[in-house]
Amino acid sequence: MSSREVIENVQADLFAIQDLAYRDFQAKLMPTVNKETVIGVRTPSLRAYAKKFGKTDNVSAFLEVLPHKYYEENNLHGLLIEQIKAYPSCIAALDRFLPYIDNWATCDMIALRTVKKHLDIFIQEVCRWIASDHPYIVRFGIGMLMRYYLDEQFKPEYPKKVAEVKSDEYYVNMMRAWYFATALAKQYDQIIPYLEEKRLDTWTHNKTIQKAIESYRITPEQKSYLRTLRVKKQ
């Protein structure tokens, strides 16, 4: 089967499980995405489809085709990359795919189980992505740092890299705030100086505090203190 035939079959399958009400809801959450490119497939349904499709002989043909026409095709692409068990192949597939991500939802849904056994070297890729000029590659890199490097793998230089990111992109800075809020819950003593010493830009600083205060993983005492660290906008 040709790549074109594979793509046409996948698109037909996705439209067969379309939920128009969900499409309208999801499109409103992604202002960077043209609504006409959103089919409207709920994530559990897409994950189930990816699991089934991943066992066929058509995966390679699908992954060859970039860019995709539909939002759900991009999400499917990411879910299929998750299934790649060989670490070098997984990274190569990611490097091909990441430049085509155009929204936060596709960016954030990818969880790379393959890298868990390679965290000592995966950090090199994460730092490379964080240094990218592409906003969603930067967001993805910070997301990976948050997902895999806030517990046993944590090192003080990692939050420093996130703090040093300079961007006017909302979705980059929102991820930076999300990272620091999560880091406060897991590495409070290492992270609180970033707020006490105002090492972040004002927007990210205040958004970090907001998200931390909303978190159930931050103690009431910590929340009270965080409220005193808010910075007034100039």
pLDDT digit string, tens, across residues 124-154:
999 999 999 999 999 999 999 999 999 999 9
pTM, 2 dp: 0.95
Q: How far apart are CA 141 and CA 64, in angstroms?
A: 23
Percent of the chain with pLDDT over 90: 97
pLDDT at 232: 85
pLDDT at 233: 75
What's the chain look like in SS3?
CCHHHHHHHHHHHHHHCCCHHHHHHHHHHCCCCCHHHCCCCCHHHHHHHHHHHCCCCCHHHHHHCCCCCCHHHHHHHHHHHHCCCCHHHHHHHHHHHHHHCCCHHHHHHCCCHHHHHHHHHHHHHHHHHHCCCCHHHHHHHHHHHHHHCCCCCCCCHHHHHHHCCCCCCHHHHHHHHHHHHHHHHHCHHHHHHHHHCCCCCHHHHHHHHHHHHHCCCCCHHHHHHHHCCCCCCC
pLDDT at 1: 81
Q: How far apart are CA 234 and CA 230, in angstroms?
A: 12
pLDDT tens digits along 29-67: 999 999 999 999 999 999 999 999 999 999 999 999 999
pLDDT tens digits along 13-24: 999 999 999 999
Q: What three-state secondary structure class fits 231?
A: coil
Average pLDDT over residues 92-120: 95
Average pLDDT over residues 171-185: 98
Q: Which two tokens stand for residue 19?
A: 């939920």
